[in-house]
Each structure stands twice: as C-alpha cells, then as structure tokens.
A and B are shown apart, each in its own frame.
Chain A
Amino acid sequence: MPWTKVYSNKAEFEKALSDNKDLRGLAYKDALLEATSQMLESDETVFVIGEGIDDPGGVFGSTKGLHLKFGRERVMDSPLAENGITGVAVGAAVAGMRPILVHMRVDFIPLTIDQIVNHAAKWRYMFGGKVSVPVVIRSMIGRGWGSAAQHSQSLQSLFTNIPGLKVVMPATPYDAKGLLRASVYDGNPVVFIEHRWLYEHMGHVPAEPYTVPLGKAVTRRAGRDATIVAVSYMVYESMCAADILKNEGIDCEVIDFRTLKPLDMPHILESVSKTGRLVIADTGWKDTGIGSEIIARVVEDGFGVLKAPPERVNLPEAPTPASPALEKAYYPGKNEIAAAVRRVVKRG
C-alpha cells in the first residue's frame, strides 16, 4: 500500500514515483504545511500561533507562507511566553476555536507544563464534560550539529502519564498530514511531536484532505521472527535494521505505533503473539518511557507469548552532549536495533 510504505531514502521514493504515476510525492514538512493550509482554508475556527511561525523559514518550512495566504489574524507570531501562549491557545479552544500551537523545540514545552497538565488535560473532566479542549500542540525534536542538551530532547513520556492528553508522533509524510488533521478534529488536547530528521523525508501524500485515526498502529513490514515496535524517526532506523537482519536470515516485523496515547496494544500484541520476540525503538530515554509501558502491557495482556526477554533501544541515561564524537555515540540507530534483535533471537 503506498500510504503505509516507508521510503528509507529519496532515491528509493523517486524510483517508486517513476514506477507508479499515481503516487504524489511530498516531503514531511510540506505534508504538515498542506494539512494546515487546507484546514485554515475550510474552517474559520482553525488558527495557528507560535514563536516565529511567520518568519521566512516558517518553522523549518512547515508553516511557510501561511500568514501571507490567511493573514496574521489567523497565523500569528507570538511573544516568547510559552506557558502564557499555551494558555491562550487552551482558552481559545475552550471558547470554540481549534488552535494549532507551535513550539519550535520540544525543549520549550517544560515551560508550558502548567497549562498542558493542569489545564488542558483536565478542563473537560473537571467540568463534567460541559466543555472540551480541541487544541493541538505541535513541537519538534532536534538532533545533531551540536544541538546539545536543551535543543534535542524527546519528552513525549512526560505526557503519556497524564489522562486527558493524547500524544502523537508521525513518522511518514502521509501520516504527518493525516494525523495532523485528525488531531485538530479530535476534540481533545493533542501533543503532536515531530522529528526534524524526518522533515525532508519524501513519501506518498494524496492532495485531498484525509485523516489517519489516532490510536491506530500500522505494520510497516511483515515478518515472522521478531517484532520491532518503533515510533517517529526510529521507524526508519528499524526498517534499515530489518534490511540488515534479513541478510542474516532474521525476518523482522516492524510496527509503527504512531500514537503513544492511546496506544494500539491489540495491534502490537497480535504481532508479538506471532513472533514471540520484542524490541522497542524509541527516540527518548528508557526509564518509564513508552517502551516500559509497551513491555508492561505485553506482559499484563499476553503473559506467556514471549519466547525471550524483550529489549529496548533508547538514548543513554544522560543529557545530549554537543561534541560530534560524543553525539555520534549518544544516538542509537539501525546497528543498535539490529544488535538488540540478534540478542533477543539468540536467547529464545
């Protein structure tokens, strides 16, 4: 299926395009831009707010030119006041709008925890369902070029612990567009985390508006020996790891869970029940991360299906270093995922 296919590199996608004229290629960042533009076009309650969203770069291209098309009343730059502006978006949502709030770095989100955790997540429940909070909080994980400890974090697990929030991390251009639209129309506060290294990735993206439902995982590659469960940028690394392992006779299934909250456990469990082996590849740290949750639920709901202890591929337990030598050692990738799968296969 062209819309579930992951293209590991541009050349591979260009070849696919030449083989299939029905495909429409779009980069991840342009898929986000197109989704946003289409919603601004068709829905007066949608507006976009964030630091620097109307600058010439347009949040790495994902909001580029929107202010020219829709005006600064609906596509507005904001002061550097992350908590306040998050509250403004939350309040506007409660008052009937569908704001898309952009925090250009995930690292800025800790400044907004009061509004996200104490307000957005609880506002509907606290008032007996009388109002809802249809706000999407987009944010980007940075990586590389010495981004260091405060411009590179993957903080998704801060939010998976909070009832009332949803957490989404699209890996492909197709999902970026469809999940963004689904998030805006979900009717709940959605933390929507993108990865900078995905921004130039190409994939099939239909021109018309569509949604990809939240809470649904997708199998990116079928296999019988081991299940690699991955999200965001780690989906690509997992696909590459699966290629490496194929040559060694290990047939991997790769699942992209796309939404961290709610988590599509039936999909994951079905695969693990088949392969009996599980490796989870996440962009963040290990302790109480999404991998911990997935393993816990596999054991709770499917105790006995595992043939070997599962493994997690995460960042090492340290903030991100700046030096290129240390940075290279910091990030796990296809080789670390492949090594984890080999160990799991070897143990049972």
Chain B
Amino acid sequence: MLLDMYASMLRIRLFEEKIVDLYPEQEMKCPVHLCIGQEAIAAGVCLNLRKDDYVFSNHRGHGHALAKGSAMRPLMAEFYGKVTGCSRGKGGSMHIIDVENGILGTSAIVAGGIPMGVGAALASSIRKDGRVTVIFFGDGAYDEGALYESFNFASLKKLPVVFFCENNFYATNSHQSARQSACRISEAASAFDAHGVCIDGNDVIEVYKATQDSINRARKGGGPSLIEAKTYRWKGHVGPEADYEKGCRPKEELLYWMERCPVKVMRELLLSRSVATESELAGIATSVTDEIEDAVKFAKESEYPPLSDLLTDVYAPVKETL
C-alpha cells in the first residue's frame, strides 16, 4: 500500500512537472491549474475508492483523475485541445471526464461541482448501488453558499458522500484569513450533524486513514463527512510559475512546505523502512516517465477536432419512441 501511495503521488507529480516544462511552448492553449505539492490528497483518497465510485472535482483536477485511474493519454490530449482528448477537445484542462472511472465531469465554477456530486450520491442512494461519492473542493469553495446548501441536503438524506476540502490557504491570491472569520473549516460539519475532521493533507497515510473512516461510514449509511486537509499549492493559481515570483506570497512559506513535500517524505519512509530499494523506486519513476512521454507524443500527434465538431454535442439526440 505504501508503495501504491508513492507511485500514485509520483505519477501526479511528474505529470504536472511535465506540463511545467511544456507549457512555455504554447502548444497547450488552455489555462492549467497545477496541484504540485498537494498530491498526497488525491492519492490517499482515491486508493480507498472502487472503480465505480464517483469523484467530483474542480478546475484543479488533474491529480484527482490520475489518482482515480485515468489514463494519461486522453488527459494530455485534452490539454492540447485534440479530438482524442477525454472531452474531445471541448473542455480543456479544467473540464476532465472519465465515465468508466466514475468521473462524470469537473466544474470550473468554484463550488459548482459540489451540488452535482451530492446529486450523484442521491442517485446512488435511490438506486442502492453501494457507490460512494467523493467531492474535492478547495478552501475557496468554503466561501460559497452552494457548499452549505449541498452539505445540509446530503446530511439530511444521509447520502454516501465525502466532502473533501483541500485547504491550501489561498483562493487565487486571497489568503484564507482574509476571507473567513474562523478558519476552522472542518468544524462546519457539526452544524449539519455530520462527521468532521481536520488532518495533515501532506501526510498521505493520514489522508488514507481519514478517508477510509469516512468512506466506511458513508457506505454503511452513516451519511456524509467533511475532511479538511491542510496542504499547499507550490505553483500559482493558474499557470506553471510559482506565486512568490509574482510577489503574491512569501518565498519562505513555499520553502517551508517544500520541506514537507509528500513525495519526498514518502520516498524517505519507503527507503528507511526498507519497503523498497532505490532501484525499485527508480523503476517506478521510469515507468511513470515512459507513460508521460507516450502521452505527450500521443497528444502532440493527435488531430484537432474537425470544424464540424463546433456544433455537435450541444444537445443529446432525442429518441423518437418514448
């Protein structure tokens, strides 16, 4: 399991770093919201999930999709606006879908995907299909009314949902303390008679355990949980640069969190406990790098959508016989 956690985090880290490398080429003509530094959350959460469990995410959703099992090719192709992309080039990096892996689409409106995730959980509840829905959102979404409306309903109906707040302290460049009076996000759960917990979002094992507890609770009909995981986004709100370079936050803050890099910490743990050797870890890195290179090649070589796609998919075709 520890090795799975490491592999999942590394897969996200190297994928995102590749975007950092390639973005200046300006061939990826869409905004990218990178999650470097936050990988422990996606990995720790998704290792608890079944393939058919639902995940709802947001504009910063690459890591969630990768951790849930999405292949790199359709993701990378989507970022390049190619017809082979997961959304056929119509969504871009903010709008990822992978129906087979339970990702029914990601919203780029802050908190916009939260009620939809609760809706998917309601569908599961009506169908009694045993699925759990995890909804990822940031501390910015805590400012939005949609969260409270959704949380109340999920708790009222005891829906199988885990509300997972990735608290990276910044909504674009606005610090949490400038936006929120209490800065104790997980405590909101008590107002809805639900389980709430605040954890270290850079500790993948802690993330895994907290999520496991909430998912077990949800699957048994115990209703929703709110997990607040404190973490840090190394890059800017959007794009490959770091925020301190633009004067948006102190460099010392970034350096503090880089010391707490979830990938590095896990790597040291694996080696110190002799769970894996250097060469085994290098082997994981090589296979991830190969997957990334293959995805980039695939994306670059793929075609753009034909212009006839401009007006397709606006409406589902209407069946004649009802």
Chain A residues close to B by CB (< 8 Å)? 44, 47, 73-74, 76, 78-79, 81, 83-97, 99, 114-115, 118-119, 123-134, 163-164, 166, 181-182, 185-188, 211, 213-214
Contacts and interface: CB of A to CB of B under 8 A. Distances in A.
Nearest to A181: B322
Interface stretch (B13-21, B146-154, B296-304): B146-154
A79 B149 contact: yes
Contacts of B89: 128
- The 5 lowest CB-CB distance pairs between A and B, nearest first, are A91-B119, A87-B115, A84-B149, A128-B88, A91-B116
B142 interface: no
Contact of B91 (A78, A99, A126): A126
Contacts of B319: 185, 187
Contacts of A213: 318
B109 A114 contact: yes
Contact of B153 (A79, A118, A133, A166): A79
Contacts of B149: 79, 81, 83-85, 87
B115 A85 contact: yes
8 contacts: A47-B126, A84-B145, A90-B116, A92-B119, A118-B112, A128-B90, A186-B316, A188-B316
B123 interface: yes
Contacts of A96: 123, 127
A94 B116 contact: yes
Interface in B80-124: 85-91, 95, 97, 99, 104-105, 107, 109, 112, 114-120, 122-124
A155 B248 CA distance: 42
Contacts of B127: 44, 96
Contacts of B85: 128
Contact of B105 (A44, A76, A127): A127
A307 to B, nearest CB: 35
Contacts of A84: 115, 118, 145-146, 148-150, 152-153
Contacts of B99: 130-131
Interface stretch (B4-12, B233-241, B286-294, B307-315): B307-315
A238 to B, nearest CB: 28
B156 interface: yes
A132 B117 CA distance: 15
- From B114, B127, B318, residue with most partner A Cβ within 10 Å: B318
B87 A130 contact: yes
A178 to B, nearest CB: 10
B54 A95 contact: yes
Contacts of B145: 83-84
A220 B147 CA distance: 47
A14 to B, nearest CB: 31
B306 interface: no
Contact of B112 (A47, A81, A87): A87
A87 B125 CA distance: 16
B144 to A, nearest CB: 9
A43 B152 CA distance: 28
Q: How large is the interface on B (under 10, 10 to 19, 20 to 34, 35 or more residues)?
A: 35 or more
A88 B115 contact: yes
A98 to B, nearest CB: 10
B192 to A, nearest CB: 11
B322 A211 contact: yes
Nearest to A211: B322
B123 A87 contact: no
Contacts of B97: 127-128, 130-131
A119 B111 CA distance: 11
A213 B313 CA distance: 20
B152 A81 contact: yes
Contact of B315 (A47, A94, A124, A126): A124
Contacts of B24: none
A162 B99 CA distance: 26
A132 B105 CA distance: 11
A85 B104 contact: no
A115 B171 CA distance: 21
B112 A185 contact: no
A127 B114 CA distance: 18
A94 B105 contact: yes
Contacts of B152: 79, 81, 84
B125 to A, nearest CB: 8
B87 A124 contact: no
A95 B87 contact: no
B247 interface: no
A93 to B, nearest CB: 7
Candidate in B54, B91, B119, B322 with the most chain A CB atoms within 10 angstroms: B119
A91 B122 contact: yes
B123 A92 contact: yes
Contacts of B322: 181-182, 185, 211
B91 A124 contact: no
